[in-house]
């Protein structure tokens, strides 16, 4: 089963600069190795954006495709509600000012009022240690796990295509309520540009709605050293996470 095609435009829930995790002058000085104005360092931090999560019932996706789920998938659907969730963010450091040394994008799946707790069944991408240049599609296999298959350049109109995946990426949180993706800068590949992530969420049957929170944490290399930055909502300047609705 091919995943839904990628949207042409992103519906953003955040678009702005990262902020210092600890803006106290002493903390900034320890991080960059010199006396520095926190406001000066903050101006070096990159812009980021976070897209609104998209979710689809996997049962509905099979129905729309007019196909019967494989037996292993059907067995899981008889016990759980399964959802495909798409997440997206982007990093836009300004050339010559800063670089993203490491970043973590994390989604916390929240329980509902009845205590129903969704969990991450599988994540994509999982581990990327080397540059993958081949055009690929991510599909959901019979065991409700992500699989990557190569596609021809002339057949890119259906599904989720990756023209390339750049190292280094490491996903964590499978079978837990806090799936996350870590992005690392490696020689020849900065953490920059758009990042798309997918997860399969498993929820107790009948869980009609689900919410979560998104956090983004990064180590930013500036001219003075590496400093920790986080995402804050402009509306309150306090919350370090974005509340999101996942389904319905």
Average pLDDT over residues 66-83: 92
Q: Residues 176-201: pLDDT tens digits? A: 999 999 999 998 889 999 999 999 99
Nearest-angstrom CA–CA distance, 30 and 47 = 23
Q: What's the pLDDT score for residue 156?
A: 28
12-16, 79-83, 150-154, 195-199: which range is least confident on average? 150-154
Q: Residues 201-221: pLDDT tens digits? A: 999 999 999 999 999 999 999
Q: Which residues pair with 187 in a beta bridge?
A: none
Average pLDDT over residues 76-90: 95
Neighbours of 114 (CB within 10 A): 9
Degrees to nearest 5, angle at CA 100 with 175 and 168? 50
Q: Residues 29-66: pLDDT tens digits? A: 888 777 788 898 899 999 999 999 999 999 998 888 88
Contact by Cβ (8 Å): 178, 104: no
CB hemisphere CA count around 229 (13 angstroms): 32
Q: Which residues pair with 211 in a beta bridge?
A: 245
13-17, 107-111, 157-161, 173-177: which range is least confident on average? 157-161
Q: Which residue has the tokens 């960059």?
A: 32
Q: Is the pLDDT of residue 236 over 90?
A: no
Q: Is the pTM for the entire model greater than 0.85?
A: yes
């Amino acid at each position: 089963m091919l995943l839904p095609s990628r949207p042409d435009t992103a519906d953003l829930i955040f678009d702005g600069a990262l902020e210092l995790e600890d803006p106290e002058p002493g903390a900034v000085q320890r991080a960059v190795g010199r006396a520095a104005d926190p406001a000066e360092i903050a101006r070096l931090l990159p812009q980021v954006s976070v897209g609104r999560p998209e979710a689809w019932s996997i049962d509905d996706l099979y129905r729309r495709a007019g196909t019967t789920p494989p037996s292993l998938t059907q067995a899981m659907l008889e016990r759980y509600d399964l959802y495909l969730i798409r997440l997206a963010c982007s990093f836009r450091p300004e050339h010559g000012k800063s670089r993203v040394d490491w970043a973590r994008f994390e989604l916390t799946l929240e329980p509902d009022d009845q205590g129903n707790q969704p969990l991450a069944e599988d994540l994509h991408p999982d581990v990327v240690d080397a540059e993958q240049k081949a055009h690929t599609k991510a599909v959901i296999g019979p065991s409700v796990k992500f699989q990557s298959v190569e596609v021809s350049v002339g057949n890119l109109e259906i599904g989720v295509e990756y023209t390339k995946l750049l190292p280094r990426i490491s996903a964590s949180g499978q079978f837990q309520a806090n799936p996350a993706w870590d992005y690392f800068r490696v020689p020849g590949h900065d953490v920059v540009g758009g990042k798309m992530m997918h997860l399969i969420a498993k929820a107790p049957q009948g869980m009609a709605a689900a919410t979560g929170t998104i956090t983004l944490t990064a180590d930013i290399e500036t001219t003075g050293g590496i400093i920790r930055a986080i995402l804050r909502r402009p509306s309150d300047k306090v919350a370090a996470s974005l509340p999101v609705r996942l389904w319905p």
